[in-house]
Structures are given as C-alpha cells and as structure tokens.
C-alpha cells in the first residue's frame, strides 16, 4: 500500500482484492459512525448492519491499512497476561469476563469466516507456544495449569512431541492450544469489509477524520469533503490513531515487528516443517514467531523495524536464526518482507474508553488483534443495540492516559532489537 512493499508485504500480494471504496463526499446521516477500517471497526459495522442499523465506516487510508493488514496472522485466545493475573489487574468481575470473552474469540472468528465464506487461508489446527529452555517450559507449565482450570483445551507437549510438530529440536516443549489457528490477516479484514457492505454498511476510504462535534442529540464527524451525522461514534483506530483520537495512540508504546516470507518450500520440506500448519511463537523476551501460508511459504518474524540499518541487520539475523531452527532448509531466500507497529499498553491489557456520551471504543490489543478485535467489535455493536449495558461490558471504563517517556522507550526497543539481532541472539 502507498507504493511501499514493506508495509504489507506478502499479505498484499496474496490477498483477494479489497472492495471498491472511495472518500466520503457530502453530508450523510447514520445510526453509527465508525472511525477505522480494521478488525474492530469492520466487525462492528457488520454486526450493526445485520441488525438493521445504518453504519458508516470512515478509514483514513485503506481497509486493513493499520495493524490488521500487517501482522503474523495468529488467531490466539486470551492475552499475554497470565489468566490468573487478569483479575488482579482488572478486578475479579472484569478479569473473568474478559477471559471468557477472549478465550472463545477464535471460535467467533472461525464462525464469521464460515458464515460469510471469507477466503483467508484459515487453518484450524491450533497454535504452539514454544518453550525456550527450562525457564520457558516452567512458564508454559503454569500457563497450561491456569487455562486448564478454566476448561480450556490446552495441552503441554514434551520436547519430542514438539519436535515432531515443528520439525525442529530447538525447544524444550510447547503449549498446544486447540482453540487457535492462523489466517491471512489482510484477506480476512478485506473479507469482513465485503461482508459488511453486503449487509448494508457503507465504507469510505482515503478519508481521515478531522474532528467531531455535538449536534442536537447526536454527533457530526467531519472529513475533508463531507461529514456523518450519527447518534453514536465508534473509535476503532487503535495503535495507528491520529487526529482527534490520537490519545488512543499516545497511551500505547509502539513495538516494531517484522516478518520475512520464504519462497514456497515444496512438498518434501513442507512435510518436515510444520506439517500440521500450526502457528508458533516462543517464550523469549525478544520473541520470534513462524507459521506457514497456504502456498507453503514459511513466514518468520521478530521484534524490529525494517528501516535504516535495521533492514539489513534483521534480515541477516533471520537467515541465521532460520538456519539454526530448520537446518534442513539450508540457505533460505526471502521473497517478501514487511513490518508494522504493535500497540502495547502499560499493563498489557486492552482498554475501553468513553470519549464522550455515545463515543466509545476498545483499543490496546498488545499484539493480539485478530480475535480480540473481532469480538470487541461485535461487543460494541451489541452495546449500541442495547443488548449489553455499559456496566456489563468486559472491560471497565477508563480515560486515555499518555505513557511516560513513550518516545524514548520506542527508540530503545527499536535500537535494542537491532543490537540483539546484530549480536546473533540465540534461540
């Protein structure tokens, strides 16, 4: 997008076309104005339109331009925070609510894909959280214990079982989550857009929101050449927020994350590397992730930005790391590379904000946008429809709060990832 092959990489090359959209021209009325055309905004638009409400989506650039179209494509259940820790962060009521909602979120994604026949390379064989060393295995043992106590279908695999599933002996075990899976993220978000349009929603792209103001009993959302007057506004811009809702961005630290995609491996190698097509990531602080796409490309990623010296440092490291992890691949070559920004809140927990009366939004997905974004969009639609009262939402109302030393921390993370990868960080 925007003539930048490093913005969406392989996903833009292999996704089905986005729906034909255009900027908003003139003044329109709606029940709900939705700012942001990613997982959350389009899920909300789809569910509102299916309930007979008029929803208008205003996207600054293109459908899936932000985190939705750049990520790894893992459909994870839960959050980074340990299940038992969430009630301590959010309180027992909200902690258990969000655990229940996000634990079942991968199934909601799967059901939407099946219902609307979204072609997005869906794989439902689960994910593997891979243990690095004894400490990593201990962490996964505790995570498995906590999820099992809540009835989740997770299983701790031995080193031998892990090696058989991955095709590598690098790990001391893995947590196998049967709820989860992978998909092509840009294809999925474009599919949500097609489904929302078919249900009666409107989507306008190339359309940054310049402001909003109270008018009568509702709101007027202004763009360069038009406006939407609506009773409700949904803010669904998350880590890429700018303009009147930039407070959503400034309460998050941008953690850069890159991906490289190999050429299709071919039948022989595909049988020895992730034969079950599980999505994987490890327990290291500077983590790595890997998964296969439908054509047999291995997609490998880690923390860092592919710009300036980072472009060469991270590529060289990725080649070394993949050769250690999968020696059967030999010297790998990449056919696509891209990177994006993960929005990290101070406590790694999402937020629900009420910016004004009937101006609401969820944000802060901390690298897990697909499943949480989908179910939080659905939840916002149900809230507006009157099915869920504000007191019954999965998160409490909080005010956006800027993270201290944000720009310094972001520079530190980008530089630190380069230093670690230049020094040849090991698995």
* DSSP track, 184-216: -HHHHHHHHHHHHHHHT-EEE-S----EEEEET
Residue in 352, 388, 370, 379 with CA at minimum distance from that of residue 47: 379
Output the pTM of the full model: 0.97
Give the span between the Cα atoms of 111 and 43, in whole angstroms: 13
Identify the pLDDT of residue 427.
41
C-alpha dist (Å) from residue 65 to 113, 185, 265, 405 = 20, 11, 28, 27
Give the span between the Cα atoms of 7 and 339, in whole angstroms: 6
**To the nearest 10°, the Cα dihedral for 17, 23, 25, 30?**
80
**To the nearest 10°, the Cα dihedral for 8, 14, 19, 25?**
30
- Whether 365 and 343 have beta carbons less than 8 Å apart is answered as yes
Number of H helices, E strands in the chain: 13, 18
Give the span between the Cα atoms of 369 and 38, in whole angstroms: 9
Q: What is the mean pLDDT of each run of 10 residues along the chain (427 residues)?
A: 89 97 97 98 98 98 96 93 93 95 97 98 97 97 96 96 97 97 98 98 97 95 97 97 95 97 93 96 96 97 96 96 94 95 95 97 95 98 98 96 94 95 71
**To the nearest 10°, the Cα dihedral for 240, 211, 190, 257?**
0
Residue in 189, 169, 195, 62 with CA at minimum distance from that of residue 121: 189
Q: Please tell me whether residue 261 adopts helix, strand or coil conformation.
A: strand
Partnered with residue 356 across adjacent β-strands are: 359
Identify the pLDDT of residue 425.
59
Maximum CA extent, the chain: 67
């Amino acid at each position: 997008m925007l003539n930048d092959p490093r913005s969406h990489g392989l996903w833009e090359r292999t996704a089905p076309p986005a729906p034909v959209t255009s900027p908003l021209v003139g003044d329109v009325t709606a029940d709900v104005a939705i700012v942001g055309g990613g997982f959350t905004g389009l899920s909300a638009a789809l569910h509102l339109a299916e309930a007979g409400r008029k929803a208008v989506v205003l996207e600054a650039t293109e459908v899936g331009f932000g985190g939705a179209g750049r990520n790894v494509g893992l459909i994870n259940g839960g959050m980074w925070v340990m299940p038992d820790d969430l009630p301590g962060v959010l309180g027992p009521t909200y902690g258990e609510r969000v655990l229940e909602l996000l634990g079942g979120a991968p199934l909601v994604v799967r059901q939407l894909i099946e219902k609307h026949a979204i072609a997005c390379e869906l794989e439902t064989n689960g994910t593997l959280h891979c243990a690095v060393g004894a400490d990593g295995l201990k962490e996964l043992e505790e995570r498995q214990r906590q999820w099992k106590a809540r009835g989740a279908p997770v299983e701790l695999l031995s080193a031998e079982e892990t090696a058989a599933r991955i095709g590598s002996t690098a790990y001391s075990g893995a947590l196998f989550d049967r709820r989860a899976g992978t998909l092509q993220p840009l294809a999925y978000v474009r599919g949500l857009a097609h489904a929302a349009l078919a249900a009666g929603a409107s989507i306008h792209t190339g359309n940054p929101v310049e402001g909003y103001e109270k008018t009568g009993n509702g709101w007027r959302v202004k763009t360069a050449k038009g406006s939407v007057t609506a009773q409700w506004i949904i803010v669904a811009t998350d880590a890429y927020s700018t303009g009147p809702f930039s407070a959503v961005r400034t309460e998050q630290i941008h953690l850069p994350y890159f991906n490289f995609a190999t050429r299709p491996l071919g039948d022989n190698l595909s049988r020895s590397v992730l034969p079950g097509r599980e999505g994987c990531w490890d327990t290291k602080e500077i983590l790595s992730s890997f998964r296969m796409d439908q054509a047999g490309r291995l997609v490998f990623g880690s923390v860092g930005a592919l710009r300036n010296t980072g472009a060469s440092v991270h590529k060289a490291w990725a080649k070394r790391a993949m050769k250690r992890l999968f020696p059967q691949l030999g010297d790998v070559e990449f056919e696509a590379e891209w990177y994006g920004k993960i929005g990290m809140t101070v406590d790694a927990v999402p937020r629900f904000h009420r910016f004004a009366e009937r101006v609401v939004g969820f944000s802060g997905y901390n690298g897990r946008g697909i499943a949480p974004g989908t179910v939080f969009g659905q939840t916002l639609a149900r809230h507006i429809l009157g099915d869920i009262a504000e007191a019954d939402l999965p998160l409490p109302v909080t005010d956006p709060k800027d993270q201290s030393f944000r720009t310094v921390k972001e520079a530190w993370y980008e530089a630190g990832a380069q230093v670690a990868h230049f020094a040849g960080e090991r698995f």
